[in-house]
Chain A
Amino acid sequence: MSNNSCMDLPAKGGFSFDLCKRNAMLSQKGLKLPPFRKTGTTIVGLVFQDGVILGADTRATEGPIVCDKNCEKIHYMAPNIYCCGAGTAADTEAVTDMVSSQLQLHRYHTGRESRVVTALTLLKKHLFNYQGHVSAALVLGGVDCTGPHLHTIYPHGSTDTLPFATMGSGSLAAMSVFESKYKEGLSRDEGIKLVSEAVCSGIFNDLGSGSNVDVCVITKGHKEYLRNHMLPNPRTYVSERGYSFPKKTEVLMTKITPMKEKVEVTEGGDAMEE
Chain B
Amino acid sequence: MSKQQARFEPYDFNGGTCVAIAGADYCVVAADTRMSTGYNILTRDYSKINKLADKCLMASSGFQADVRALQKVLGAKHLIYQHQHNKQMSCPAMARLLSNTLYYKRFFPYYTFNVLVGFDEEGKGCVYTYDAVGSYEKVGYSAQGSGAKLIMPVLDNQLKSPSPLLLPALDAVTPLTEAEAIDVVKDVFASATERDIYTGDKLEIVIVNSDGIRREYAELRKD
Contacts and interface: CB of A to CB of B under 8 A. Distances in A.
B41 interface: yes
B222 A204 contact: yes
A1 to B, nearest CB: 39
Give the size category of B's interface with A. Answer: 20 to 34
A66 B163 contact: no
B223 A237 contact: no
Contact of B165 (A236, A239, A245, A252): A252
Given A206-B40, A208-B39, A252 B146 contact: no
B36 A237 contact: no
Given A204-B222, A211-B223, A236-B220, A66 B39 contact: no
A64 B196 CA distance: 6
B146 A209 contact: no
A25 interface: no
A107 to B, nearest CB: 39
Contact of A250 (B158, B163, B183, B222): B163
B194 interface: yes
A151 interface: no
B197 interface: yes
Given A238-B187, A239-B183, A241-B180, A59 B223 contact: yes
B196 A65 contact: yes
Give the interface centre of B194, B218, B220 by most chain A CB atoms within 10 Å.
B194
B53 interface: no
A204 B157 CA distance: 32
Interface string B162-196: 01011000000000000010011011011001111
Given A169-B39, A237-B218, 7 more contacts: A65-B150, A208-B39, A232-B223, A235-B194, A236-B221, A237-B189, A252-B166
30 contacts: A40-B39, A64-B196, A64-B197, A64-B198, A65-B150, A65-B196, A66-B195, A203-B223, A204-B223, A205-B41, A206-B39, A206-B40, A207-B36, A207-B39, A207-B40, A207-B198, A210-B197, A235-B190, A235-B194, A235-B221, A236-B190, A237-B186, A237-B218, A238-B187, A238-B190, A239-B187, A241-B180, A241-B183, A243-B158, A252-B165
